[in-house]
Amino acid sequence: MLKLLNDIQSVSPDSNITIYDDDTADHGCMFTKNGSNAFDLIILGHQEYVTQKEYDNLKRFANGGAMLILDGNVFYTEVKYDL
Position 45 scores a pLDDT of 85
| Residue 2 belongs to a domain | no
* CA 83 – CA 73 distance, rounded (Å): 27
**pTM for the model:** 0.82
Whole-number Cα distances in Å, 76 to 5, 13, 15, 49: 25, 34, 31, 6
Domain count, the chain: 1
| Residue 20 belongs to a domain | yes
Position 51 scores a pLDDT of 94
Position 2 scores a pLDDT of 82
| Residue 46 belongs to a domain | yes
Q: Is residue 49 within a helix (H) or strand (E), and if so which, with residue range?
A: strand 49-50
Which burial class, exposed, middle or buried, applies to 74 when counting CB atoms under 10 A from its CB (0-12, 13-18, 19+)? middle
| Residue 40 belongs to a domain | yes
Q: Which residue segment(s) compose the domain that 64 sits in?
A: 16-78
pLDDT tens by residue, the chain, 83 residues:
788 888 988 999 888 888 888 889 999 999 999 999 999 899 998 888 999 999 999 999 999 899 999 888 888 889 988 86
| Residue 22 belongs to a domain | yes
